[in-house]
Amino acid sequence: MHAAPSTRIEVKSSQQGPINQIDLDPCDERYLLVASGDATVGLYDMEVEPAQDGSDSDGQGGSMPSRVQSLHVTPRTRAHVTENIGDLTGGRVPSSIGNAALAARMQPPSGGHRYSVTSVQWYPPDTGIFVSGSTDGSVQVWDTNLFVSAGTFSLGSKVHAVAMSRAMLSRSLIAVGTDDRRVRLCDLKSGGSSHLLAGHAQTITTVAWSPTEEYLLATGSRDSTVRLWDVRRSGASACLKTLDQDADHRGRATGILSAPTALAKAHAGWVVSLDFTPNGCWLVSAGTDKRLRLWNAMSGQNTLLNYAGTHNDIAVGWKIKAIQTAGRRGVGRDWGEGNMILYPNGRSGEVLLFPLLPRGGMSGRSRSQSSGRLERPRMVGRPSHRLRGHVDVVQSMAYRRDAGQIITGGADSLLLVFDCSRHDKEESRLLDGENDGQYPKDSKRRAAKAADQWSSDEDDNSGRVDHEEEGFVPPILRQYDRDNSHRSTSRRREH
């Protein structure tokens, strides 16, 4: 998939702080929530029509892009900062971690957040409600129509991530990651805390619900672990699996029901972000070790895929995004066809787009020279495209599938829109064998190249220069092409 900065839409943000997270409404993909470091949440309508009075003209016969401005921005509470977080809502919150579960009771509405808003998400069934989390230690529930706070969960520790399940229909649980080492589950219907999930040894930085399995929750922590939970359970049995980056090397069982181990580590550094693919088959994780890993969501197995060129070692704030591109014909036999990963590549401000899986799947096996076992070869994948425009790290992304747009928000306070629909439709037709001759050969070559950026490390050198991209052809290949051309000419003359 290819993408370029949009010439049709410009987002004008009235928020002053870094953009920590953005979220599109799941119903129409029209309304965008923006959580900012200035303690506000903004609402944007991404389908603003261009002006009809000619005011969108640039004066040179062209047209200016439609300007998207915030419809609403939540107020920032300017109350005096005290040690007791309960002063904000009129309730008293115990400071001890042991009583934290009792403190997670929805309080009367407050004026807004006091500190940086770290996360925001729409209520999945409709757009009448959304929730936000902040470093002021609270999760607030908002009425979208009035754009006022309808209630507050005061948790007593900094909130780093909030998430609600789009697959869970029977309950409305908010999973919250905080400085407390336990995952909080807040119930919107009862207004209280459902229960805690204990197991992590340090701050919980990221939480993600499976889009297909109703009760499956993934969490990541500064203890370098990723845990899979069944939220119907409590106590030690709630943790189904601790993902291990080395499990596949040792040949150990990787079933999702295997017991968690204290030695299992998903990354060599902090786990910063998690995201399930839209079909729920895969879980993607990223950490401060500059690694991007792909896991089988059901078995917990490390796929050993190597995504090359990832350099982000920033400890907090940024999120990866797994998307399914428009124009595809559904999920392929490898469960990953059409899926891509968006990866913010550090302070450079660029976003890398990776195909989720190698074209043709991962069924190939080779015999290890050291152990003699049949092992899946490591596959090396390069980004198919790079999004550029930000001047600081991109911290959150959203994908409008029907409109063919990628929206990015960064620490530079910018909201950018990238158009990818035209290229994506072209690529889809070419890959599906529907090219009717209207596309030039060069477009077909680019589409085929973008579709599969994978190669086996047995045949690949990570330091190799891509000669086709650089426009350089080695002499031995030029000689090979001349020899083939000479043979073809000789055969035609003989006939």
Both tokens of residue 401?
A: 């599938």
CA distances (Å), origin 472, targets 106, 465, 467, 475: 63, 9, 5, 9
Question: Which pLDDT score is estimated for 3?
Answer: 77
Percent share of the chain, pLDDT over 90: 47
Kindly tell me if the per-residue pLDDT of 431 is higher than 60: no
* Helix (H/G/I), strand (E/B), else coil: 305: strand
| 85-96 confidence digits (pLDDT tens) | 233 333 332 222
Cα distance between residue 37 and residue 136, in whole Å: 12
Contact 23, 33 (CB under 8 A): yes
Cα distance between residue 273 and residue 271, in whole Å: 6
Q: Chain-wide mean pLDDT for the chain?
A: 76
Strands (E) located in 315-411: 321-324, 339-344, 351-355, 366-367, 374-375, 379-381, 385-387, 394-400, 405-410
Please compute the mean of the pLDDT values over residues 416-442 and round it to a whole number: 51
| 63-110 confidence digits (pLDDT tens) | 567 778 888 888 876 543 322 323 333 333 222 222 333 334 555 566
Pick the more confident residue, 38 or 433: 38
User: Shortest CA distance to 125 belongs to which of 78, 95, 166?
Assistant: 166
Pick the more confident residue, 121 or 27: 121
Percent share of the chain, pLDDT over 70: 65
| 258-270 confidence digits (pLDDT tens) | 455 667 999 999 9
Kindly tell me if the per-residue pLDDT of 309 is higher than 70: yes
Contact 229, 219 (CB under 8 A): yes
Question: Which pLDDT score is estimated for 338?
Answer: 77
Question: Which pLDDT score is estimated for 69?
Answer: 83
Cα distance between residue 351 and residue 354, in whole Å: 10
Q: Which of 251-260, 334-343, 453-462 comes out lowest in average pLDDT?
A: 251-260
The residue assigned the tokens 């948790």 is 155
The domain 4-494: what is its CATH number?
Answer: 2.130.10.10
Question: Which pLDDT score is estimated for 390?
Answer: 96
Give me the amino acid identity at 475.
Answer: P
- Reported pTM: 0.77
Length of the chain: 495
pLDDT classification of 358: cutoffs 50, 70, 90 = confident
Report helix angle 441-451 to 421-431, nearest 10: 90
Kindly tell me if the per-residue pLDDT of 361 is higher than 60: no
Cα distance between residue 28 and residue 303, in whole Å: 34
Q: Which of 38-47, 223-232, 484-493 comes out lowest in average pLDDT?
A: 484-493
Question: Which pLDDT score is estimated for 75?
Answer: 81
Please compute the mean of the pLDDT values over residues 19-31 and round it to a whole number: 94
Q: Which of 48-57, 103-112, 192-201, 352-361 comes out lowest in average pLDDT?
A: 48-57
Which of 100-104, 150-154, 235-239, 372-376 is most confident?
Answer: 150-154
pLDDT classification of 336: cutoffs 50, 70, 90 = low
Question: Which pLDDT score is estimated for 491?
Answer: 58
Neighbours of 133 (CB within 10 A): 30
| 192-213 confidence digits (pLDDT tens) | 777 899 999 999 999 999 999 9
Question: Which pLDDT score is estimated for 78?
Answer: 53
pLDDT classification of 360: cutoffs 50, 70, 90 = low
| 119-135 confidence digits (pLDDT tens) | 999 999 888 999 999 99
Please compute the mean of the pLDDT values over residues 108-119 and round it to a whole number: 84
pLDDT classification of 47: cutoffs 50, 70, 90 = confident
Question: Which pLDDT score is estimated for 484?
Answer: 58
Both tokens of residue 129?
A: 């409600």
Question: Which pLDDT score is estimated for 346?
Answer: 94
Give me the amino acid identity at 299.
Answer: S
* Helix (H/G/I), strand (E/B), else coil: 77: coil
DSSP conformation letters of 177-191: EESSSEEEEEETTTS
Cα distance between residue 402 and residue 132, in whole Å: 26
Phi, psi angles (nearest 5°) of residue 45: -100, 115
Question: Which pLDDT score is estimated for 24?
Answer: 96
Question: Which pLDDT score is estimated for 169?
Answer: 77
Question: Which pLDDT score is estimated for 10?
Answer: 87
Q: How far is CA 355 from the centre of its chain?
A: 14
Q: Which of 291-295, 358-362, 406-410 comes out lowest in average pLDDT?
A: 358-362
CA distances (Å), origin 66, targets 7, 205, 296, 417: 9, 36, 41, 12
Pick the more confident residue, 446 or 493: 493
Please compute the mean of the pLDDT values over residues 333-358 and round it to a whole number: 84
Pick the more confident residue, 145 or 451: 145
Which residues, 6 or more positions from 76, have their beta carbon under 8 angstroms from its beta carbon? Answer: 38, 39, 40, 112, 113, 114
